[in-house]
Amino acid sequence: MKICILPGDGIGPEITTQAVRVLKALAGDGLDFDTQEALVGGAAYRSHGHPLPASTLALARESDAILFGAVGDFSLDTLPRELRPEQAILGLRKELNLFANFRPALVYPELVQASSLKAEVVAGLDILIIRELTGDIYFGQPRGIRVLDNGEREGFDTMRYSESEIRRVAHVGFQAARKRQHRLCSVDKANVLDTMQLWREVVTEVGKEYSDVELSHLYVDNAAMQLLKNPKQFDVMVTGNMFGDILSDEASMLTGSIGMLPSASLNEHGFGLYEPIHGSAPDIAGKNIANPLATILSAAMMLRYSFNQAAAAERIEAAVRRVLAQGFRTGDIFEPGTRKVGTIEMGDAVLAAL
Ligand code: NAD
């Protein structure tokens, strides 16, 4: 398993180091990891003049999966947009055709108080939101700001999805549901938007190939409400780029802890980029206080989705549950009565639990 490690900026190197330790601890037992590291984001700009240098992209292409830390460096925010650190992720998504974004939202019993919702609403929550990542109104043409005959400016964007784009992400949704509780909820706005009418038709057609998965449909406004009212009704949700952007952030906040949430962006061949959902957290970088668990859990997702190693993924997830049950907490999830540890000590605790 060739893994390209892209630590990036800020806390990126600290947290990926811990995730790599965890992967290496699992080596043997039929698992053989070859990890190679490259620069990305602000770190790459400083040494190569570009946030996604050709050498980094080449290494990513030769690999089976990418473990990504985070990018972002406020001191580079005055650069032209195409040279800013965050462009590296967009470049990787585009170059590697990573069209399916997986965002699990899971509430650990020990962290239930971190949610702003009532404990009984979120306790035991385990949902997966799959967001289409390369189409929709974010990329549709034409778009722009034009001046009308009356001199007023008008902004416009185009929502569009081709049948094949909908079909491929629908397949990903059904297949993910098969690895979980066999329930898929497709979210659209078919009552108002023609693009979304097509979305619903195509998802329904694809569903005929998955008679073992229960398919339901919700309009996005209702889905946003249901996520707050009764989030545990969902198993897997699949939706377009814009709705997924909003719903996946809403769902992540059900858990209340940004340092705990992994993500994956996959292409058709199971190649994936795995990263925590948080950014480079420059405010806490280099202090050994960042929570490495989101990155460690991203490595578990990599084993499950790119390498089909569900048992190994579950070992990591069980180890994380165990360290939480043992009371280990980084500062972001600390509560009185628990044991505050740093980034490295949290990595040590996961290794011990493994
Ligand atoms: P952020 O996610 O980096 O941080 C938000 C807050 O959460 C900060 O207070 C931070 O200290 C805390 N936090 C984040 N991760 C944590 C962790 N693992 N452990 C403990 N605390 C953690 O968001 P931001 O401050 O808005 O952005 C910082 C930089 O990251 C910006 O340059 C932004 O563009 C970039 N960014 C990158 C990504 C990415 O790489 N995918 C995502 C979001 C933001």
| Residue 68 falls inside a structural domain | yes
Q: In the prediction, which pLDDT does 349 show? A: 98
Q: In the prediction, which pLDDT does 172 show? A: 95
Q: How many CB atoms lie within 10 A of CB 233?
A: 12
| Residue 205 falls inside a structural domain | yes
Q: In the prediction, which pLDDT does 70 show? A: 97
Question: Does any ligand 1 atom lie closer than 6 A to the CB of residue 75?
Answer: no
Q: In the prediction, which pLDDT does 282 show? A: 96
Q: In the prediction, which pLDDT does 246 show? A: 94
| Residue 291 falls inside a structural domain | yes
Torsion, CA 218, CA 220, CA 223, CA 225, rounded to 10: -140
Q: In the prediction, which pLDDT does 290 show? A: 97
Question: Does any ligand 1 atom lie closer than 6 A to the CB of residue 278?
Answer: yes
The answer to whether residues 91 and 106 belong to one domain is: no
Rounded distance from Cα 74 to ligand 1 centre (Å) = 11
Backbone angles phi, psi at 233, to 5 degrees: -70, -15
Give the ranges where 263-308 is alpha helix by DSSP (H).
293-305
Half-sphere exposure of 35 (CA within 13 A, CB side): 19
Rounded to 5 degrees, what angle do the CA atoms 47, 85, 281 make? 110
Q: In the prediction, which pLDDT does 29 show? A: 75
What DSSP letter does each residue of 5-21 carry, written as one string?
A: EEEESTTHHHHHHHHHH
Boundary-marking domain end, from 227, 260, 293: 260
The answer to whether residues 240 and 308 belong to one domain is: no
Backbone angles phi, psi at 214, to 5 degrees: -85, 120
Which is the closest atom of ligand 1 to the Cα of 294?
Answer: 18
What DSSP letter does each residue of 240-252 carry, written as one string?
A: -HHHHHHHHHHHH
| Residue 152 falls inside a structural domain | no
Boundary-marking domain end, from 260, 285, 319: 260
The answer to whether residues 123 and 224 belong to one domain is: yes
Question: Does any ligand 1 atom lie closer than 6 A to the CB of residue 132?
Answer: no
Mean pLDDT by 10 residues, the chain (354 residues): 97 98 90 96 97 97 97 94 92 94 92 89 94 93 96 97 97 94 98 98 98 98 96 97 94 87 94 96 97 98 94 96 96 93 98 96
Residues carrying an active site annotation: 138, 189, 221, 245, 249
Give pTM, 2 decimals. 0.92
Question: Number of structural domains, the chain?
Answer: 2
| Residue 147 falls inside a structural domain | no
Q: In the prediction, which pLDDT does 350 show? A: 98
Instruction: Tell me the C-alpha distance between 263 and 299, whole Å.
Output: 9
Question: Does any ligand 1 atom lie closer than 6 A to the CB of residue 70?
Answer: yes
Boundary-marking domain end, from 194, 225, 260: 260
Domain span at 340: 1-99+267-354
For residue 6, give the CATH number of its domain: 3.40.718.10
Rounded distance from Cα 6 to ligand 1 centre (Å) = 16
Q: In the prediction, which pLDDT does 210 show? A: 98
